[in-house]
Amino acid sequence: FGHLARDCTVSKNVQKANCVNQMEVTGNLFYANCSTTEIKANEWYIDSGCSNHMTGNLELLADVRTNVAGRVQMPTGALVSVAGIGSLSIDTAKGRKYIREVMYLPGLKENLLSVGQMDEHGYCLVFGEGMCRVFDSPSMDYLITKVEMKSNRCYPVSFLAEKQLLMKTSFLQSPWIWHKRLGHLNFGGLKQLRDKEMVHGLPQLEEQ
């Protein structure tokens, strides 16, 4: 078994332990595949048809919780299990902001931002004139980004997140990063996830 975050020897700060109770999550995904070219790893689609933020790329998320239980209904009617929930960190001119409660669905090709969930979490999205303007609050005091509608009527946006800037370094390939990212799972469990290819982006690991 793993250990609590507060007992981790590689953490300089005392961290709060993950709740042992599972979080029940559900969702629906009714979106049209907007991609007409190769899918970009850090490109997100602003989507009014999905009930939750979703991604199939674990590397884009921070503070991932794996103590979740739930499924998402795909457009085909198939049910896909939620493997985790995390946050997307983005850098803006006013500092770092977080898009929280992003579901991790292994195998999902697109990264999707739910319009309803953005609104629920205090963001304000304004559509018009072929643009989607994303503000940090309903008062529209600060514009985070403007997203141009493409010819296929989709709104793709690429956020410049700190984690994405660091992904090229060897530091993020350290097994300790994945150890903390996955709730301080032991290295035997990490190796099993890697060997069975259950997590996208997990590098080859050896037990520590």
When pLDDT is cut at 50, 70 and 90, the band that residue 181 belongs to is: low
Amino acid, res. 105: L
Query: pLDDT tens digits for 111-123?
Result: 999 999 999 999 9
**What per-residue confidence (pLDDT) applies to 134?**
94
Query: pLDDT tens digits for 64-89?
Result: 998 888 888 887 788 888 999 999 98
* Residue of 178, 175, 144 lying closest to 44 (CA atoms): 144
What mean pLDDT value characterizes the chain?
74
When pLDDT is cut at 50, 70 and 90, the band that residue 185 belongs to is: low
When pLDDT is cut at 50, 70 and 90, the band that residue 95 belongs to is: confident
Query: pLDDT tens digits for 133-176?
Result: 999 999 999 999 999 999 889 999 987 544 444 444 333 445 66
Query: pLDDT tens digits for 4-50?
Result: 545 554 444 333 323 233 445 555 554 444 544 445 668 999 998 88
> What whole-number distance in Å separates Cα of residue 48 and Cα of residue 45?
10
Domain positions in the chain: 21-121+156-167
